[in-house]
Structure 1
Amino acid sequence: MADSVEKLRRLQAVTDAALSQLGLEDLLHELLERTLDILRADSAAVLLLDQDGTDLVATAVAGLDRELQHGLRLPLGVGFAGGVAVRGEPVAVAHVDRAGGFDNVLLPARTTSVLGVPMLSSGRVIGVLHVGTVDPRSFTPDDIELLQLVADRASLATQARRSHLDRAAAVALQRSLLPARPPAIPGLDVAVRYVPGAQVGVGGDWYDVFDLPSGHVGIVIGDVAGSGLHAAVVMGRIRSALRAYAMETDDPADVLTRLDRKVQRFEPDAMATAVYAVLDPTLSTVTMSNAGHLPPVMTGPDRPGHLLSLSPDLPLGAYRGAERRGTRMPLEPGQGLFLYTDGLVERRDRGIIAGLQRMVGALSPGTADATCNAAMALLDNTAPTDDVAVLAVRRV
């Protein structure tokens, strides 16, 4: 008993203090080195579940050549570590030579005994930690408890650092794709705003304004389902693909049809809403297509804005071969479009219709910048729970 208490004390001292300033891979490697000493093992490895949840990726090793970990992927359910991940509970094997399916790299042929435990976060398996010994070993309940404690500490560190890195990467990506200053287009007054959500952080909201070789102007706002780095990455791909398709046709319905096929093929788990509008070279006519997004607002020079009757088609990625329609309408001097994502109008304590009415009532006539300022005032100086993107375009 005294020996177990001493082991726990030494492990807690290492995980709570000495490793707190290290990067993730170095932290896990140092933690494994201490684990080898405490458990008197010869090799150890941490494998983390990839973003798709299909493969375990070797992230840190000890007692082995560290080059062995680079690029090594193990399908879920395959090998010793894959089996531990599927079972979601500790597995101890006293004689690995009597069992099949063991990994040849992270569990070398000379390994005689092995103990593996799942790495858990909120009850979900995010990886596997296992140790191996050359000499035969019957792992005790204390050994299993100690290794599970190591795995729990490693899981906490992994999730904390992943969340921090994902958020930082998502913010950087979002800023690179959504510049605060929109492009200058003659004849148009353009303003934009973006605010990340307080609860979900940076998500998949985006806006874009660009001129085309034909003289047309493309205007788009959209929202990829989900949040964090994955949503931001998918958003970047969709945004770039839409720009490419817009170079080939001035029909917004055709552009969204092509974009939908791209999402269906290359982003099978993604779904997004979007409104894509195209202004003709004279800026006197706008044609719009709506892929499941909330309706734009038409603003005027001397009268309140109003929601456009723009019937939405299905979101991108929702249904293969969905029909896409376009709606054309005039745009007089002084008139403009205000596009937004649902974070601006959706609240838990208020229905969406009430949110839309409140928004439309707040958008008084004025410049594009004044329109965006009026929209942001709807947040009442509180951080929105979901991210918010708005785009105002006015013909001058």
Structure 2
Amino acid sequence: MSTMRDAEDGDELLARLGSLTAQARELAEVQRSRVELAIALQRGMLPRDLPVARGFRLAVRYAPAYHGLNVGGDWYDVFTLPDGHIGLSIGDVQGHNIEAAAFMGQVRVGLRALASVTSEPGELLSRTNDLLLSLGTDLFATCTFMRLDPATGVLESARAGHIPHIWATADGRSGIADGEGGPPLGIVAGVDFPVTRSRLTTGGVFVLVTDGVVEGPSLSVDEGLDQVVRLAGIAAVAGLEAGALASAVMKVAERVGHEDDAAVLVVGHDGVETP
């Protein structure tokens, strides 16, 4: 009897293990499908081509985080505005799942759509903020939006809780933008976002990044930004093209010590200065 009971217990244990294994495989397949869908959403929502402006060079680098179930919502965008100016945005949605990836698409599309109504950076972020709040989601996003005038090199920018951009000039100066920003998009209604103005001179560069590039367990945000400042300063003095600088900045992301989305957007001016 004991032998028969042992055999029955063993069969029951094997059956339970088989059932648990099947459930684990099913769950893994569902999660893998969710990750693949989120990656497809990310790729489909990012711009395929960048605008061309005489005397200016644009470059982007993007590394989505899709290790395990860690799928983020970073984005970049560059597009021509109705008045001939160039709009540039970069941002990061809170969270690392398919909802974050989908919300990223809503933010990017919202910015583009509203930019056809007003491209003034502060007003644009304010309207986008109110639009996102009307959607009733619990998610929020940090963002920087810039408007470049190719005729003068003037850049107007506004920030919503995002990391400040980095600048460098051909005469060896470089630093982190110190303009005031507002809160992230999607948290508080009726917010005003201050606008700062600067000028991109011949040989100069502006670098916009998401926090996955400069911050993590192995690198503080201040250390990461300092590294980007040094790279931008070297690139501007040496006359490196925008793509080479973008690639060098993306290398910083490999040293932050975590797996997160990372986006880099570089604007360089290599044309003849307009008086």
Q: Same fold (TM over 0.5)?
A: yes
- 2:206 matched to 1:341? no
- Matched residue, 1:392: 266
3-state SS in 1 of match to 2:28: helix
- 2:121 matched to 1:252? yes
- Matched residue, 1:166: 34
- Matched residue, 1:29: none
Query: Which residues of 2 match residues 58-73 of structure 1 at below 5 A?
Result: none
Report Cα offsets for 1:250-299 as digits up to 9, x if no partner.
21111111111111121421111000001125242111110000100113
Report Cα offsets for 1:124-170 as digits up to 9, x if no partner.
xxxxxxxxxxxxxxxxxxxxxxxxxx4x5565234311221111112
Give distance in 1, aligned partners of 2:247 and 2:174.
Answer: 15
- Matched residue, 2:243: 369
- 2:229 matched to 1:360? yes
TM-fit CA distance, 1:310? 1.7
Of the candidates 41, 50, 74, which is equivalent to residue 182 of structure 1? 50
TM-fit CA distance, 1:387? 1.4
Q: Which runs of 5+ in 2 are unaligned?
A: 271-275
Q: Which amino acid aligns with 2:25?
A: A
2:93–2:140 Cα contact (<8 Å) kept: yes
1:277–1:288 Cα contact (<8 Å) kept: yes
Distance 1:267 1:362, change over 3 A: farther
Give distance in 1, aligned partners of 2:147 and 2:256.
Answer: 34
Report Cα offsets for 1:354-378 as digits up to 9, x if no partner.
2221221122212211211221232
TM-fit CA distance, 1:8? 4.6
Query: Structure 1 length normalisation: TM-score?
Result: 0.60
- 2:164 matched to 1:290? no
Q: Which amino acid aligns with 2:104?
A: M
Report Cα offsets for 1:51-87 as digits up to 9, x if no partner.
xxxxxxxxxxxxxxxxxxxxxxxxxxxxxxxxxxxxx
Distance 1:383 1:352, change over 3 A: closer
Distance 1:191 1:343, change over 3 A: same
Report Cα offsets for 1:229-268 as digits up to 9, x if no partner.
2211110111011100001112111111111111112142
Give distance in 2, aligned partners of 1:383 and 1:179.
Answer: 28
Q: Which amino acid aligns with 2:92?
A: D
Q: Which amino acid aligns with 1:391?
A: L
TM-fit CA distance, 1:309? 1.1
Give distance in 2, aligned partners of 1:330 and 1:173.
Answer: 35
Q: Which amino acid aligns with 2:105?
A: G
3-state SS in 1 of match to 2:100: helix
Query: Structure 2 length normalisation: TM-score?
Result: 0.84
Q: Which amino acid aligns with 1:191?
A: A
TM-fit CA distance, 1:393? 1.0
Give distance in 1, aligned partners of 2:174 and 2:123.
Answer: 28
Segment of structure 1 superposing worse, 193-202 or 297-306: 193-202
2:218–2:257 Cα contact (<8 Å) kept: no
Larger radius of gyration, structure 1 or 2?
1
Q: Which runs of 5+ in 1 are unaligned?
A: 16-149
Of the candidates 102, 105, 109, which is equivalent to residue 236 of structure 1? 105
Distance 1:367 1:304, change over 3 A: farther
- Matched residue, 2:75: 206
3-state SS in 1 of match to 2:88: strand
Give distance in 2, aligned partners of 1:10 and 1:159.
Answer: 18
Distance 1:180 1:374, change over 3 A: farther
Distance 1:180 1:377, change over 3 A: farther
1:196–1:384 Cα contact (<8 Å) kept: no
**Relative contact order (alpha carbons < 8 A, sep ≥ 6): 1 or 2 greater?**
2
Of the candidates 194, 215, 225, which is equivalent to residue 94 of structure 2? 225
Give distance in 1, aligned partners of 2:256 and 2:138.
Answer: 32
2:250–2:262 Cα contact (<8 Å) kept: no
CA RMSD of aligned residues (A): 2.4
- 2:24 matched to 1:156? yes
Give distance in 1, aligned partners of 2:49 and 2:119.
Answer: 25
How many aligned positions are there?
A: 259
Give distance in 1, aligned partners of 2:14 and 2:126.
Answer: 61
3-state SS in 2 of match to 1:237: helix
Distance 1:360 1:246, change over 3 A: same
Distance 1:337 1:375, change over 3 A: same
- Matched residue, 1:192: 60
